[in-house]
Amino acid sequence: MSNLNSTQAIGVFDSGLGGISVVRALIDLLPHEHLIYFGDTARVPYGSKSKETVIRFAHQISSFLLEKQVKMIVVACNTASSVALESLQQKFDIPIVGMIDPGSQAAVRTSHNQRIGVIGTDSTIRSGAYRSAIRALNPDIQVMDQSCPLLVPLVEEDWPHDQVVQQVLQSYLKIFENDKPGSLILGCTHYPYLKSAIQEVIGNEVCLVDSGEAAAAEVQTVLADRGLLNPETGDPGRHKFFVSDFPQKFEETASRFLGLPLENLFKVELEVLESYK
């Protein structure tokens, strides 16, 4: 790890486009950091793949990012974070941050009533990853979780904030109605785009935890601890985006997620990606 230096980029990867919300959080918090994003758009979704497959994909992408000389890696994918983080940390000799621990820590910190809610995709909720992480931090906390499969397609389709979104959220969040948690983890990188609608339905007394923002704060801490924060003296950070395929509406959706036009976009052929170990 001794060869790392502060001007190197941070690598960020996800199974697809959702992780761009984490890039957004990193740009907001650390505008001087260079970022290299990898979205595995050819092999999305990871949630329905076996643990072994997700670990293999995560290793390939991390090796690819390492070759691009990143100083740390953010696993901006809840599925890969829950199944592959430990294996990545064992293999690669740079700091690697996932989504589960930072989100869980922020939720424990902000809940005032020993109750935490978690929403995510079917795969994330079934993995129990947030539940275990929260229990490890404080076994007395009651965790209530709920999978919300319709939210990703609603975000990807840019469905307007209307009655449909409100009714879908009311249906999913009903389990929290009588026993409101102090904090609610948005355990999917797509959900920050629904933050205001979620807040409206669950009520202002519940603190929403954006796991991407929590991960960005963790990145800042880790880099500061190691003296690896890029000095805020030069130009703003540069951002590069790599994907394994260009799905339909890709650029439209990606730049909407980023809130910026998507420049420096490159495709990596699957054969090339699969040659990494």
Does residue 275 interact with its own copies by CB under 8 A?
A: no
Q: Provide the minimum distance between the beta carbon of 13 and its own copies in the complex, in angstroms, as a whole number.
A: 18
Tokens in use for 242?
């790599």
Residue pair 230/255 in contact (Cβ under 8 Å)? The answer is no
- Give rounded-to-5 percent helix, strand, coil for the chain: 45, 15, 40
Applying CB under 8 A, what is the total number of residues that bind its own copies? 28
Residue pair 211/110 in contact (Cβ under 8 Å)? The answer is no
Does residue 153 interact with its own copies by CB under 8 A?
A: yes
Contact pattern from residue 164 through residue 183 relative to its own copies, giving x for each residue in contact according to CB under 8 A and a dash for the rest: x--xx--x------------
Of the residues 4, 108, 134, 188, which is catalytic? 188
**Is 207 marked active-site?**
no
Tokens in use for 115?
């109750």
Q: Which of 234, 248, 261, 271 binds its own copies (CB under 8 A)?
A: 248
**What is the rounded CA–CA span in Å between residue 142 and residue 131?**
9
Window 107-146: residues binding its own copies (CB under 8 A)? 122-123, 126
> Scanning the structure block, which residue is given the tokens 């490159």?
266
Burial of 44 (0-12, 13-18, 19+ CB in 10 A): buried
Interacting stretch for its own copies, rule CB under 8 A, among 19-27, 77-85, 155-163, 207-215? 155-163
Residue pair 83/228 in contact (Cβ under 8 Å)? The answer is no
Q: Which of 249, 252, 263, 272 binds its own copies (CB under 8 A)?
A: 249
**Is 148 marked active-site?**
no
Does residue 44 interact with its own copies by CB under 8 A?
A: yes
Tokens in use for 59?
């290793």
Residues 6+ apart with CB under 8 A from 54: 46, 79, 80, 83, 84
Q: Which of 1, 5, 31, 50 binds its own copies (CB under 8 A)?
A: 50
Active site residues: 77, 188
Applying CB under 8 A, which residues contact its own copies?
41-42, 44, 47-50, 122-123, 126, 149-150, 152-154, 156-157, 159, 162-164, 167-168, 171, 245, 247-249
